[in-house]
A and B are shown apart, each in its own frame.
Chain A
């Protein structure tokens, strides 16, 4: 059975259950799914005939299994995390969302792939669309339309592939490359196609942004791995995404926006790794994906707690929280160091594998640069949130919530575990590499960007200090909307209600048709 089904059925179950038992059921379902995914073996499969082809609803390999475990684990943590704020809508939709994200990992044909792809979009649209935050009405609209552009181009790509090859099996694609690129590019927020991401992730209620941060873009990366693995040109695009993403991130002061741009930047790493085309690169990318789900999720959880307890999330207003929230500070530092690639934490492992896999010097330098940027931006977040001394102290309004702390603790321990025992993941993927993660050379390499970042941070302190500033983000896609509006307006104006005009249309159509058919 496809493990995604558990969630999809669970969504229906949760819709009809009472307030109190919902949390319990959601957690049990997540545990069940984890167990199920863990016990899947590669020879299991599920094929159902449908229309004139076969739906492959279950096809297991180690990579999808590993990503599935990470998704399900994160799903569990976010269910625990959100338990205080969640309502029926959240439970139902989040189960649908997680379920379709996990289901998509285990399907083996394009048709079901597309169905899950769209189900993710629909459920996440309603997750984002939130009445408490008025602005999400617009941002979610934007989100759905952008995702639909991607979905339409994916569907077109699939149809091209299907009519040319006659098979719907999910493999590396042969036809319709530009359409698949656009589809995957929008999903994983390629720079230039990323505009939907920051505005949504920074505006929804925080427990929802925790959830969103983990799945949508990562499924995009998975699609990249499945469909477009080894497209060499993408390596450069990945580097550009990584560097520009981190550059945009550095300019932000609103923490969740900063983290959103960081997602984009980290995705750049994965794109570069996967585009190398070797098993090492692809596996490095996937391991980075898993790490990213964990530490980026943890960071979103941390900022969530800060929002929950102080009601603020702008670096301009925050500061000095280290004394008040020591445990949270600890989690934040672990996540930030992990993302920066410091040894003994999970980020180090995947970054090292990616570096091993990438041989092109331009790409390596690009990664190095992006690494420094990453370290710098997290220095910024950590310093200004937790350690900066403010004249007027930030007040805590709400009491701490144990469930949140516990969920973050779970993720932190996994980050530490992966960092200290890197072979856990590589053995799971049966990756045959010989890296001494903790040799002095690599430890130095892991710390180097941070040291450079600290130096830059000291030197350019005034530049980096968050100021009040207006965020103007040019969005050229709105021009497209204007174009459609104009076209539609012109057409509407033709319909002025004048009967003689309508009669003219009718008669002339008749004449054109008649003459056309006569002369054909």
Chain B
């Protein structure tokens, strides 16, 4: 069972050895990164495969779960694990060609980010969760500033300030939990949490919610995101939208479902709040995306909007909704990854991401344009692509829970997203006068993009496949006792 811990150790080790490798084995730098990440993805698949069959609990150094560090992988974390590692792997391959300046720094930070993200997903302990959360945050501030120009610094600075505040709030919440329950093990805290007075519970919840929500950018906590995205390299934006946003969401969902429980979500009015908050988020984000001229900002706002959809699904707190939300989340990672990587190829050639400059790219960069188009149509939620099925599931669940206005607005949101994505597609395929024949799509950039695009198509062609895979997923969320028993080995 020691494999599980290698999920965290391997990227961490690679990250810190890169400094040495840079000096002594510069020729093998790329090879070592590829070998390490290939080993990592294989490991992740093996572990996840095992975890889906039978949840894994791993106590570090064989300490008792009450004292030591515990790692838990149930099917919900396995899904996140797979999604994160797959995206990270593809982005790594992409980055080897794409990143030219500060390559060792980039890869070190990136591997730290990955370590943190995986840590968040598989830890069973609130304090470790915080530590990994900060690892993710700090490496992403640095990655955001890696371009070293004025705008990146400005964006990264805002990111840092707002991120630190959210970190403080989370830490506060953890202190309050420790004070009231005397433990930081998620399962044990959950057991003792039933006796905590309601007001304190609500306070803890608010701190957690704001803390994590400002990371996954619910409106109006989203303010830094566009500034960060507008200048950061696409490899970072792809990871940020795929890893940072999603793992913060994971952490929130895990804590709310396990610590507070499904009944609390419904009784405390949290359900209403999250659903209308999510609705506000996606409407505002779609409207903001509508105005953007920079493709990266547009995609950033679109990511915020989709976080709105996903949080709505998870707020409903029933089996179907969790499946719908997870499915949409997986789809979003794939689609947005494809969009960002395709955008990266445009930027690689154009050195710019203004939508008006994309004219005629469809002819000179056919593959990336095609992938962009397919992924855009999918993310709008047009059939027969995968985004449609997950949106359909979400709307159906929302409607069945009698929230008809949010359900209707989800459709309006699709309409708005069509309008702004179509603006991009229109430019891509219109005719341009100046020759761009020297433009090219290097294989190392094309391949990861194509693979993500293929995933999109694959899920589109077999739409019922994914919900079937996800069907066992809510077991450890809805019935929190399953998770608690699992963790405490009862």
Contact = CB atoms under 8 A, between A and B. Distances in A.
B8 to A, nearest CB: 31
A495 B382 contact: no
B20 to A, nearest CB: 38
Given A499-B161, A514-B202, A119 B383 contact: yes
A509 B206 CA distance: 10
B383 A115 contact: yes
B395 A510 contact: no
A484 B416 contact: yes
B443 interface: no
Given A491-B287, A502-B224, A114 B205 contact: no
Contacts of A485: 290-291
Classify the interface of chain A: helix, strand, loop or mixed. helix
Interface centre among A144, A145, A506 (most CB of B within 10 A): A506
B411 A152 contact: yes
Given A51-B393, A499-B161, A502-B224, A492 B291 contact: yes
Interface string A103-140: 00000000100110011001000000101001001001
Contacts of B194: none
Contacts of A520: 268-269
Contacts of A156: 408, 411
Interface in A505-520: 505-506, 509-510, 513-514, 516-518, 520
A517 B399 CA distance: 24
Contacts of B176: none
A162 interface: yes
Interface in B374-419: 377, 382-384, 388-389, 392-393, 395-396, 399-400, 407-408, 411-412, 414-416, 418-419
Contacts of A518: 199, 202-203
B380 to A, nearest CB: 8
A145 B284 CA distance: 20
A397 interface: no
Contacts of B430: 131, 137
A502 B162 contact: yes
Nearest to A492: B291
A16 interface: no
B227 interface: yes
A21 interface: no
Contacts of B407: 159
A487 B286 CA distance: 11
A103 to B, nearest CB: 11
Interface in B286-314: 287-288, 290-291
B384 A119 contact: yes
Interface residues of B, number: 62
B205 A145 contact: no
Interface centre among B166, B199, B291 (most CB of A within 10 A): B291
A51 B288 contact: no
A474 interface: no
Nearest to A502: B223
Interface residues of A, number: 48
Contacts of A492: 288, 291
B287 A514 contact: no
A156 B407 CA distance: 9
A476 interface: no
A43 interface: no
B193 interface: no
Contacts of B467: 51
B482 interface: no
Nearest to A121: B382
B226 interface: yes
Interface in A149-203: 149, 152, 155-156, 159-160, 162-163
Nearest to B205: A517
Interface centre among A141, A152, A162, A489 (most CB of B within 10 A): A152
B273 interface: yes
Interface string A17-54: 00000000000000000000000000000000011000
Interface centre among A485, A505, A513, A518 (most CB of B within 10 A): A513
Contact of B399 (A148, A163, A497): A163
B215 to A, nearest CB: 12
Interface string B211-234: 000100000110110110000000
A145 B419 contact: yes
B290 A484 contact: yes
Contacts of B284: 491
Contact of A517 (B269, B389, B416, B419): B269
Interface centre among A145, A149, A156, A489 (most CB of B within 10 A): A156
B383 A163 contact: no
Interface in B408-447: 408, 411-412, 414-416, 418-419, 422-423, 426, 429-431
B459 interface: no
A386 to B, nearest CB: 35
Contacts of A145: 415, 418-419, 422
B430 to A, nearest CB: 5
B288 A488 contact: yes
Given A141-B426, A518-B202, A513 B209 contact: yes
Contacts of B291: 485, 488-489, 491-492
Given A131-B429, A155-B411, A163-B399, A514 B206 contact: yes
B181 to A, nearest CB: 19
Contacts of A509: 210, 220-221
B9 interface: no
A517 B288 contact: no
A460 interface: no
Contacts of B203: 514, 518
Nearest to B418: A148
Contacts of B451: none
A503 interface: yes
A155 B169 CA distance: 41
Contacts of B171: none
Nearest to B165: A506
A383 to B, nearest CB: 38
B221 A152 contact: no
B131 interface: no
Contact of A137 (B384, B396, B426): B426
Contact of B223 (A141, A484, A495, A517): A495
B436 to A, nearest CB: 15
Contacts of B388: 115, 118
B485 interface: no
B371 to A, nearest CB: 15
B270 interface: yes
B161 A503 contact: yes
A520 to B, nearest CB: 4
14 contacts: A115-B384, A145-B418, A152-B411, A162-B396, A487-B287, A495-B223, A497-B154, A503-B165, A506-B162, A506-B166, A510-B207, A510-B210, A514-B206, A517-B270
Interface of A: 50-51, 111, 114-115, 118-119, 122, 129, 131, 134, 137, 140-141, 144-145, 148-149, 152, 155-156, 159-160, 162-163, 484-485, 487-489, 491-492, 495, 497, 499, 501-503, 505-506, 509-510, 513-514, 516-518, 520
Given A145-B419, A149-B415, A152-B414, 11 more contacts: A141-B422, A152-B415, A160-B399, A484-B290, A497-B158, A499-B158, A502-B158, A506-B166, A509-B210, A510-B207, A510-B210
Question: Lowest 3 CB-CB distances: which A-B pairs, in order?
Answer: A520-B269, A502-B223, A115-B383
